[in-house]
Structure 1
Amino acid sequence: MTQQAANDVASIAAAIIVEDGRVLLVRRKVKEGQLSWQFPAGEVEPGESDTDAAVRETLEEVGLTVRPVERLGERVHPSTGRTMVYIACRVTDGTARVVDDDELAEVEWCDRATLVDHVPYPFYGPVQEYLDARLVV
């Protein structure tokens, strides 16, 4: 369970959600560095596990109920400097839509080509491997 990064700033839990060969991305209203399109994600709250944070943030941001299936790993994000924890999740209920309209501009299920268009830089290795095995061309 990752609750706080070494510098006492909360970690960010990201939900990697693939359904029917497409991955769910959200576009933030305000960019975080170079990041505009990204996975549903948010801070791990005190006493919360990283998997619980990924599930909670997904519901709060895009209205999907998800179940964590695999912890893909963690790293310090090279653009934001924040500790990121990546959780593969499966949809159990709901339809993806903008729920948190203060933070999000849109949501999109992306195939491989659209993903590269929205996020033109490499993903963290274990996340890329997970996506490579599951996305349609």
Structure 2
Amino acid sequence: MAFRKGITVPIDAQRAVAAAIVVQDRHVLLVRRRIAEGVLSWQFPAGKIEPDETAGEAAVRETREETGLLVAPIRALGQRIHPMTGREVHYIACRALGGEALVASVEELAELAWVRHGEIPQYVPYGLFGPVQQHLDTALQR
């Protein structure tokens, strides 16, 4: 179990990934990978949790590597075995601290989008993990 900065989650370093749920100006950041993971097209910035880091640290690192955006973890929203990939995913609510979101990793990402609440189903038609949806229902309506 990893303990640091208020985000405590068990980590299976072989399979676990962290996803950053970044909200800014009533939009959430989504990315489209160059190589699709099954039916997943658009998703949150995410990547493997390294053995020496927490899920929050991984979410921050992956967001920076993929999009150039500097974020800070706010709180863990939950974790699950993703029904489409079979991978353990830790969802971390994050706030933007600086930088401009862009495709920083052209090897990994095809594009990114800042999406309004009502547009989410156009990007993610299969629905979101319940705690993530609840967080966005609140954060994007402010």
Both proteins in one fold, TM over 0.5: yes
- Give the corresponding residue for 1:135: 140
**Percentage identity across paired residues of the two chains:** 52
1:10 positional shift: 2.6
- How far, CA to CA, are the matches of 1:122 and 1:37 in structure 2? 11
Contact in 2 for aligned 1:3/1:48 (Cα 8 Å): no
Taking structure 1 as the reference length, what is the TM-score of the superposition?
0.93
Pairing of 1:33-72 with structure 2 (within 5 A): 33-72=38-77
Give the aligned residue type for 2:34. Answer: K
1:32 aligns with 2:37: yes
One of 81, 85, 89 as aligned partner of 1:80: 85
- Give the corresponding residue for 1:3: 11
- Give the corresponding residue for 1:93: 98
- 1:59-108 CA-to-partner distances (Å, cap 9, x unmatched) read 00000111100100100000000000000000001010000000100010
- Give the corresponding residue for 2:7: none
| Stretches of structure 2 lacking an aligned partner (at least 5 in a row) | 3-9
Taking structure 2 as the reference length, what is the TM-score of the superposition?
0.90
Contact in 2 for aligned 1:3/1:45 (Cα 8 Å): no
| Stretches of structure 1 lacking an aligned partner (at least 5 in a row) | none
Structure 1: 4+ residue segments shifted above 6 A: none
1:121 aligns with 2:126: yes
Aligned length, in residue pairs: 134
C-alpha RMSD of matched pairs (Å): 1.4
